[in-house]
Chain A
Amino acid sequence: DGGITQSPKYLFRKEGQNVTLSCEQNLNHDAMYWYRQDPGQGLRLIYYSQIVNDFQKGDIAEGYSVSREKKESFPLTVTSAQKNPTAFYLCASSIDQWGYEQYFGPGTRLTVT
């Protein structure tokens, strides 16, 4: 079955530590996205990548970093510079470069204490 995999589902870290969230897709999609979801809020775009070896900042990129070395993979690193990292993180992909129809992974809930 094609889809998007995010791991782990739950992640716990101590304040001051960097942490990397995994996102893999086998849909052969060009574009991939990272969103952050906080309770009672919509999704906010962190980073997106329309093609391998290229990525762009979204609305809330500060304190995050990404890489896109392979078409299938788009890992997100939450750095110690992110002031409030505890959130639900969603990875998505789209068949086209403009993101008209996005497919989402199951999400990773990150808790930093």
Chain B
Amino acid sequence: GDSVTQMEGPVTLSEEAFLTINCTYTATGYPSLFWYVQYPGEGLQLLLKATKADDKGSNKGFEATYRKETTSFHLEKGSVQVSDSAVYFCALKTSYDKVIFGPGTSLSVIP
């Protein structure tokens, strides 16, 4: 079945460091891909999305490119801030099935 794999956390970075959170997927067909963010004690918020191969989603300085050849959707940010500390979920959705969420990657940014 469809699945999403994320790098294990927690990830701890210093402020202004470069961030990469790896996400790979297995899916039948051509899924849409998403990154959601969950701040402490809150629900999830959609951060960015990409609906077809080679699309780049971007928001709030975060970017991710839909790579069909490597079945990946890695999240990147050039300079993280303390306020980026949260749990990040990679997710996919195909036309015939529910949204599949990865296990989440916890990010802590220290000043």
Contacts and interface: CB of A to CB of B under 8 A. Distances in A.
B interface residue count range (under 10 / 10 to 19 / 20 to 34 / 35 or more): 20 to 34
Interface string A102-113: 111111000000
Interface stretch (A12-20, A35-43, A60-68, A72-80): A35-43
A43 B43 contact: no
A106 B98 contact: no
Given A101-B46, A104-B43, A58 B98 contact: yes
Nearest to B43: A104
Contacts of B102: 42
A90 B99 CA distance: 14
B101 interface: yes
Interface string A1-29: 00010100000000000000000000000
A95 B44 CA distance: 16
A106 B36 CA distance: 14
26 contacts: A4-B43, A6-B43, A40-B103, A41-B104, A42-B89, A42-B101, A42-B103, A42-B104, A43-B101, A45-B98, A58-B98, A90-B43, A98-B95, A99-B93, A99-B98, A100-B93, A101-B46, A102-B44, A102-B46, A102-B99, A104-B36, A104-B43, A104-B45, A105-B43, A106-B42, A107-B42
Interface of B: 4, 32, 34, 36, 41-46, 49, 89, 93, 95, 98-99, 101-104
